[in-house]
Amino acid sequence: MTASAATGDLRNFVLDTLGREICAGQIESGTIFTTESIENRFQVSRPVVREALRALQQLGMVAPKRRVGVRVLPPSDWNAYDLQVIRWRLAGPGRVAQLRSLTELRGAIEPAAARLAAMRAPLNRASDLVGLAGRVWAAGRQGDTAEFLRVDLQFHRLILEMSGNEMFAQLHHLVEEVLRGRTHYKLMPQFPAPEALQWHVDIATAIQTGNADKAAQSMIAITERALTEMSSIWEQQLDGHDGAGGPGFTAAP
């Protein structure tokens, strides 16, 4: 390993550790620390620490405080759309709240994208979507969680791309983090609800036939069901449960 690669690994380790701790509240907003304290804690060089702190500053998580050190900023200042911040938050105790925020955002984006896709999508791409919907259905019925997630990611990403709106298309990673997060943290059942699988087929067919209203309504059904389920998990967590979903838990992907 080269010296530059080793430095990069150390910088990433320091950055990831501090980022996770800030997002988890282990390092509270308003906390002030110095470059020297980070050097001593991680036993790394000052350039490594400076690079890690610079990255956190770019994410809006810390700010230099002249002659004092570095101050941790509140979540309202963070770049909430950055994937690294999202993943740190998903890894912490605020996981369900983060998934809820992402699911609410998804509910605003995907129905509009599905409507536009029905109006704009080329026939060949719509046919691809129908094929993906069939694979989503098959994987869900078989309880193949890994395959279901793989094709479901493709399905939702393709709809955003087919909307013909480059800004929607760029938001695919936010939708993907919802789907990955729910699966990774056991908030999805092995066998998705049959109606959720049918909604995927309905969306694909509506887009293929140019039925914009049907495409949007079917996507609303998926996102609203997902939000309702996330609200249920949220309430369980507040009641002291782990919110991981019991045997009767059925979710919309």
pTM of the entire predicted model: 0.84
pLDDT band with cut points at 50, 70 and 90 for residue 247: very low
Q: What is the tally of structural domains in the chain? A: 2
Report yes or no on 84 lying in a domain: no
Report yes or no on 245 lying in a domain: no
Which CATH number does the domain housing residue 34 bear? 1.10.10.10
Question: Does residue 52 sit in the same domain as residue 111?
Answer: no
Question: Does residue 205 sit in the same domain as residue 136?
Answer: yes
Enumerate the H helices of the chain as residue ranges.
3-23, 35-42, 46-58, 83-90, 95-120, 123-142, 145-162, 166-169, 172-184, 194-209, 212-238
Instruction: Write a three-state SS string for 43-62.
Output: CCCHHHHHHHHHHHHHCCCE
**pLDDT tens string 11-50:** 999 999 999 999 999 999 999 999 999 999 999 999 999 9
* Residue range of the domain that includes 42: 3-77
Q: Residue 171 pLDDT more than 50?
A: yes
Question: Does residue 115 sit in the same domain as residue 168?
Answer: yes
Report yes or no on 46 lying in a domain: yes
The residue out of 49, 77, 105 marking a domain boundary is 77
Report yes or no on 121 lying in a domain: yes
pLDDT band with cut points at 50, 70 and 90 for residue 100: confident
State both tokens at 172. Answer: 């695919």
Q: Residue 239 pLDDT more than 80?
A: no
Question: Does residue 119 sit in the same domain as residue 21?
Answer: no
Q: Residue 106 pLDDT more than 50?
A: yes
Report yes or no on 86 lying in a domain: no
State both tokens at 64. Answer: 């230099």
Q: Do 126 and 138 meet the contact criterion of CB atoms below 8 Å apart?
A: no
